[in-house]
Amino acid sequence: MRFNDGRPVPPELVAETVIRLREQFGAVSSENQTIQGQWQHEGVVYRDNLARVLVDVADTPENRQFSGSSRNKSKPTFNNWTFG
């Protein structure tokens, strides 16, 4: 995985995110395949090599609140745009 500026994402950032999700929800899964994506923002096309992390939880107000706050916390950590 790489940041939008081309620098590699340190594996410890991904590991910390996975651990945080496991601690919050009790379980987390991830895929080890590379997912290739493309997206456009302000006329610039970005190409991504992505990893997928999955958390399957009950639809509760607490889980929805964590999901929203988690997304906001990950923006500065990964320094990328996120789409909800």
Q: What is the reported pLDDT for 38?
A: 92
Domain coordinates in residue numbering, the chain: 11-78
| CB-based contacts of 1-4 (< 8 A; 24+ apart in sequence) | 1/48, 1/49, 1/50, 1/51, 2/48, 2/49, 3/78, 3/79, 3/80, 4/46, 4/79, 4/80, 4/81
pLDDT per residue rounded down to tens, the chain (84 residues): 888 788 888 889 888 888 988 998 899 998 888 899 998 999 999 888 888 889 888 888 988 888 766 555 554 466 655 544
Q: Record the pTM.
A: 0.67
